[in-house]
Amino acid sequence: MMQRLPRSLHASLVARARAEGTSLNTLVTMLLAEGLGRREHHV
């Protein structure tokens, strides 16, 4: 899957992934899973 992001958001995600010592793909997958988990608990 490919998703277009604003450059500033992409840069922030890359910086966070580096800081956490993980890949950008892993970070995005983790953030999406956390967001979905929170959403399911509030519905």
pLDDT of residue 5: 94
Examine the pLDDT at 33 and tell me if it is beyond 80. Answer: yes
Q: How far is Cα 40 from Cα 33, in angstroms, rounded to an integer?
A: 11
Domain map of the chain by residue range? 7-42
- pLDDT, one tens digit per residue, over 8-29 is 999 999 999 999 999 999 999 9
Examine the pLDDT at 32 and tell me if it is beyond 90. Answer: yes
Neighbours of 23 (CB within 10 A): 12
pLDDT of residue 43: 62
Examine the pLDDT at 1 and tell me if it is beyond 80. Answer: no
Do 27 and 16 form a contact (C-beta atoms < 8 A)?
yes
Q: How far is Cα 23 from Cα 29, in angstroms, rounded to an integer?
A: 10
pTM for the model stands at 0.79
